Amino acid sequence: METLTDDQIFKIRRNLSDAGCGVPLIEKFLLLEQNHRREEQYRLLSQHRLSLLEALHQDQYKIDCLDYLVYAMEKEDKESMKSQKK
């Protein structure tokens, strides 16, 4: 492995930041890169990916709850309109 250029470091920092990584994780990743510890870099990225996926699932559940509430309200409104027409 060769030493990273400033441009490469910038791109890595930007990519990790865009992926929601905090400064400590980014610094650890770059330190692992300096020490040629690729497997640990993969592990670090995998852990962060899992945390993002868990957050996504939690947010999806919240969206599902809202969707169900809207569905129930619309159903109630339709039933109310039907009973008013009779």
Instruction: Dump pLDDT digits (tens) for 2-56.
Output: 789 999 999 999 999 999 999 999 999 999 999 999 999 999 999 999 999 999 9
Alpha carbon distances (Å) from 33 to 4, 5, 27, 57, 70: 9, 12, 10, 31, 49
Alpha-carbon distance of 59 to 46, in angstroms, equals 20
pLDDT at 77 over 80: yes
| Alpha-carbon torsion (49, 52, 58, 62), positive or negative | negative
Inform me whether the pLDDT recorded for 59 exceeds 70. Answer: yes
Residue 80 has pLDDT above 60, yes or no: yes
Q: 63 or 82: whose pLDDT is higher?
A: 63
d(CA 65, CA 57): 12
